[in-house]
Chains A and B, each alone.
Chain A
Amino acid sequence: MTPAIELRSVGVRYSSGPLWARRHVQAMEDVSFQIAAGETLGLVGESGSGKSTTGKVCLGLVRPTQGQVSFDGAPFASRRTTRGRLAAVLQHPQWSLNPRLHVGMSVAEPLAINQSSSSEERRRVVASMLERVGLEPSLAKRYPHQLSGGQRQRVAIARALVTHPRFIVFDEAVSALDVSVQAQILNLIRELQEQAGFAALFISHDLAAVRYIAKRVAVMYAGSIVELATAATFYARGLHPYSRGLQAASDLIDEPDARLSGLTEDVVREGCALTPRCPLAFDKCGRERPELRPLDGDLVACHRAGGA
Chain B
Amino acid sequence: MRNDAPPARPIVTISDLVIEFRTRRQRVRALDGASLSVAEGEKVGLVGESGSGKSTLALSLARLLPTNAEHVSGDLTVAGKSIFAMDTASLRAVRRRTLSYVFQDPIGTLDPTMRVGRQISSVLNGVSQRSAVASSLLEVGLTDHKRIARSYPHELSGGMAQRVSIAVALAAKPQVVIADEPTASLDASIRAQILDLLVSLCAGHGTALVLLSHDLRAIAHYCERVAVMYGGRVVEDGPTANVFSEPFHPYSRALMKAAPGQERLGGRIEPIPGVPPILGGREERCTFAPRCRFALESCHSERPGEQRTAGRRVICHRVEGGLPPLPR
Contact = CB atoms under 8 A, between A and B. Distances in A.
Interface of A: 46-47, 148-149, 178-184, 186-187, 205-209, 211-212, 231-232, 235, 245-246, 248-252, 259-260, 262-263
Contacts of B214: 178-179
Most buried by A among B50, B217, B260, B275: B260
Rank and list the top 6 A-B pairs by shortest CB-CB distance, nearest first.
A208-B261, A183-B271, A183-B258, A212-B260, A184-B271, A180-B272
Contacts of A187: 268-269, 271
B260 A211 contact: yes
A15 B188 CA distance: 28
Interface in B247-261: 254-255, 258-261
Contacts of B220: 251
A180 B192 contact: no
B187 A183 contact: no
Given A179-B255, A183-B270, 17 more contacts: A46-B189, A179-B214, A180-B255, A180-B272, A183-B271, A186-B260, A206-B188, A207-B261, A208-B259, A209-B260, A212-B260, A235-B265, A245-B189, A246-B188, A250-B191, A251-B218, A262-B193
Contacts of B49: 178-181
A245 B190 CA distance: 11
Interface in B231-255: 254-255
Interface of B: 49-50, 141, 159, 187-193, 214, 216-218, 220-221, 254-255, 258-261, 263, 265, 268-272, 275
Tell me if A's interface is mostly helix, strand, loop or mixed: helix
B258 A179 contact: yes
Given A179-B214, A179-B258, A46 B190 contact: yes
Contacts of B159: 263
Contacts of B188: 46, 205-207, 246, 249-250
B250 to A, nearest CB: 13
A46 B269 CA distance: 25
A178 B215 CA distance: 9
19 contacts: A46-B188, A179-B49, A179-B255, A180-B254, A183-B259, A184-B271, A205-B189, A208-B260, A212-B269, A231-B265, A235-B265, A248-B192, A249-B188, A250-B192, A251-B192, A251-B217, A259-B192, A262-B193, A263-B190
A149 B189 contact: no
A211 B262 CA distance: 10
Nearest to A215: B266
A250 to B, nearest CB: 5
Contacts of A249: 188-189, 191-193
A210 to B, nearest CB: 9
Nearest to B52: A178
A180 B265 contact: no
Contacts of A179: 49, 214, 216, 255, 258-259
